[in-house]
Amino acid sequence: MEKAIEESATLSSVTVSLEAILVAMETLLVRVFANIVRNGLGIRSLTLWTRTWNAESWERIIQFKEPAMDMRTAVSRVKRALEDYPLPLPVEQDLVELKAPGDWERMQEEYNVLSLFPAGHIMSRLRPRFNGGFRTSRDIEKLGDGAAVTTAGLVIRRQRPQGKVVYITLEDEFGHIPCMVFGKVYERHEHKFRSPFLVVKGRMSRREGTCNLVINQVKPFSALEKALPSKDFR
């Protein structure tokens, strides 16, 4: 004697697809077979009925030549039947309107792809984070020997020509900041100096026509998901 069993499921996915329907159907068939297998019965036909998010509905009856006695067989037969007769699934829900990327998102994408930002510099966007005592490269040019400096920038170059002193060049939106770190300070904070973005403190050194910021304190900070490569030399 044939018996009608009703089961239902709600798809949580925004996108209704054949795969999503088959996953939900497997869950339903587990419940169905739990009721019929112990009685030695199988599934001879399935009636699939759905209602989509915009209240549209469709119905399909799938007949089996031989009763499906296990879930795997039933799923396989239903999948073949649905592939032969595509479902009238709406696609409007797939057309999600995306918010236009902002200036920061566009800048990040250009740095990720090009490793540079032709329309400007990342430090100009980060400048509000570094107000109140932070010097720019433009300010540093005017400072005399021994002046205390706190600044921040993107590391574009690291050099260690003689093994004792490490030379680091920071870049901000106005230019370059030449820095030098003595060996003991560098070795103590080497893991910090490897960051692509640094906040540094030190004093200006002007000797024989050269100008460097001698770093005695360093703090890394994050700004981009993808670290920008620097040119490192020994």
Q: Do 67 and 137 lie in a common domain?
A: no
Q: Is residue 116 part of a domain?
A: no
The string of DSSP letters for the chain reads: -------------SS--HHHHHHHHHHHHHHHHHHHGGGT--EEEEEEEEE-TTS-EEEEEEEEEEEE-SHHHHHHHHHHHHHHS------GGG-PPPPPP-HHHHHHHHHHHHSS-TT--HHHHHGGGG-SSPBPHHHHTT--TT-EEEEEEEEEEEE-SSSSEEEEEEE-SS-EEEEEEEHHHHHHTHHHHTSSEEEEEEEEEEETTEEEEEEEEEEE----SSPPP-EEE-
pLDDT tens digits, one per residue of 192-202: 999 999 999 99
Q: Is residue 41 part of a domain?
A: yes
pLDDT tens digits, one per residue of 63-118: 777 777 777 787 777 777 777 655 555 555 555 677 777 787 888 787 777 777 77
pLDDT tens digits, one per residue of 153-186: 999 999 988 778 999 999 999 999 999 999 999 9
Query: What is the total count of domains within the chain?
Result: 2
| Domain span at 161 | 126-233
Q: Is residue 101 part of a domain?
A: no
